[in-house]
Amino acid sequence: MYEKLADIKEKYDQIAEKMSDPDVIADQDRFQKYAKELAEMKPLVDKYEEYTTALNRLEEAKEILASSRDEDLKELAEAELEENKEILRTLEHEIKMLMVPKDPYDDKNIYLEIRAGTGGDEATLFAADLLRMYTRYAERKGFKVEIVEQNGTGVGGFKEVVILLKGKGAYSHLKFEAGGHRVQRIPETESGGRIHTSACTVAVLPEAEDVEMNIDPNDLRIDVFRASGAGGQHVNTTDSAVRITHEPSGIVVSCQDERSQIKNKEKAMKLLKSKLLEKKIREQEEEIAADRKLQVGSGDRSERIRTYNFPQNRVTDHRINYTSHSLDKFLEGEIDDLLEALWAYDQTERLKAAGL
């Protein structure tokens, strides 16, 4: 590890030297490229320098202990030795975390797609609960929430709903939410007081940029239809809703939340690109890790990741055996503890995979 850090420091110094070259300064594209590289490397280089300083102090303390006869000096050296051992242990952990390859999508906006599964009306009501939970969480983090598509029910639930969360790092916060979410509770319509089990699936998609996903227009079938639901009388009188089918993959997206057909088409295209990007990411991960999971979960919607038990006010994440008896607060968007535990577990697994 120390040799890797020395190589990174050497490369950092070389790039810094290049940035002082008049030819590079005159070429803004090259200058910005180097500046970005330096910014990405700087946290690791700073920790390397801290590590080197602590290592030197530790060696000096060892020399004093080995050569000095002054008991007071040796006592100070012993304290210095123990202090720098602890500093080095802390720095080693921090450096390893910085050396884990960063997820290139972490800083992106995300689409959250919630679909009701088994359980009839109760599942659609649970979808509404999940929507509220993620919306409250997003508000706490300062993310902007935008409804992209919704298919409501007469009981106040959703057969499916797609939202876009805009904010730096939105994907990194919620990328482990993909999968099956199960709820156990007594429905309001259940006269016998029996506990029912229902389920929803959640998909998490990083927002794709045009440079990442080019789509051949010949691969698309675009249909327009009359919107229904929220939006006032206008939506019921014009064909403003848009459905786009990507024929090679079979992926279908639709949007009817805007009054303008053009805006609905634009939103639907962005969602389609993100779904295709998600598909690409999953295929890459399967190739990289055919025999093991590099992350907490594969993101497979069929994988049951969490259970929400209302009678016991309990939420359990099955991937890391996390349990909390504050389900009421959890559903109000107070989910940081679990998300941090998932992130820590994932980082540990990535460290193992990287051999660090």
Low-confidence ranges of the chain (pLDDT < 70): 2, 189, 191-192, 210-213, 227-238, 284-302, 354-356
What's the confidence (pLDDT) of residue 191? 63
Close Cβ partners of 164 (under 8 Å, ≥ 6 residues apart):
109, 110, 111, 145, 146, 148, 207
What's the confidence (pLDDT) of residue 267? 84
CATH numeric code, 2-99: 1.20.58
What's the confidence (pLDDT) of residue 139? 95
Assess whether the region 2-99 and the region 110-289+299-351 belong to the same CATH fold.
no
What's the confidence (pLDDT) of residue 256? 82
Question: What are the structural domain ranges in the chain?
Answer: 2-99, 110-289+299-351
Strand (E) positions, the chain?
110-116, 144-152, 158-166, 179-185, 196-206, 220-225, 241-246, 251-255, 304-309, 314-317, 322-324
What's the confidence (pLDDT) of residue 275? 85
What's the confidence (pLDDT) of residue 238? 61
Give the domain 110-289+299-351 fold.
Alpha-Beta Plaits (3.30.70)
CA atoms within 13 A on the CB side of 156: 5
Residue the block writes with tokens 């029910």: 153
For the whole model, what pTM was predicted? 0.69
